[in-house]
Amino acid sequence: MKLSKILGITLISLGLSMPVVAQQAGGQQGDQVDRLSQIVGLSPEQEKEIRGILDEMQTKIQALQVEAQQLQQQLQAQIKPNYDEEAIREEAEELGDLTGEISALSTLMQAKVDEVFTDEQREKLNQRMKQMQEQMQQMQQQQRMQQGMQQPGQ
C-alpha cells in the first residue's frame, strides 16, 4: 500500500472517528461526511451508507474509549507508595486489550467506508491526501526554520 494511501486513510480515520465530545458538540459526523462528499463527490446513497457505517462503528468505539479512559484513571490512582503491582498489571493488560479493539474497530470502519467509494473517488481522495501531506510538510519545514531563527537570539 502506498504511503499516500496509508496517510489518507489515517487522516480520514482521524476525521471520521471523532471522540464522543466532538459528536456531542453538534453534528461533527455530518460535517465530516459533507466534507468527504465535497472532496470525492459522493452520491446521496453513498452519503447515507457512510453515515450508517459511522453511526454503527462510532457507537462501539466511543463506548470502548470511555471504558479505556476509566481504566487509565484507575491506573493513575495506583501511583502511590502502597501500590498494588498485580492490579496495575491486570488493568494495564485490560487497557491494552481495549486499545487493540479500538484500533481494530477504527480500521474496520475505515475499510467499510473505503468500500463505498468508486475507483475514481479513491483516486480523488488519494490526490487530495497527497496535497494535504505536502502542505503539512511545508508547514513543518517553515516551523523548523522559524525555530532555528529564534534559537541563536535566546
Round to whole Å and give the CA distance between 64 and 35: 26
What is the mean pLDDT of the segment spanning 108-133? 93
Model confidence at 53, pLDDT cuts 50, 70, 90, reads: very high
Q: Which three cell numbers stand for residue 10?
A: 489515517
Round to whole Å and give the CA distance between 14 and 106: 9
Quote the pLDDT of residue 28.
Answer: 54
Quote the pLDDT of residue 149.
Answer: 78
Residue 34, amino acid: D
Global confidence as pTM = 0.66
Query: What DSSP string describes 61-75?
Result: HHHHHHHHHHHHHHH
Quote the pLDDT of residue 18.
Answer: 40
Q: Quick one: 144 exposed, middle or buried, by C-beta within 10 A (0-12, 13-18, 19+)?
A: exposed
Nearest to 116 by CA among 44, 28, 59: 44
pLDDT at 25 over 60: no
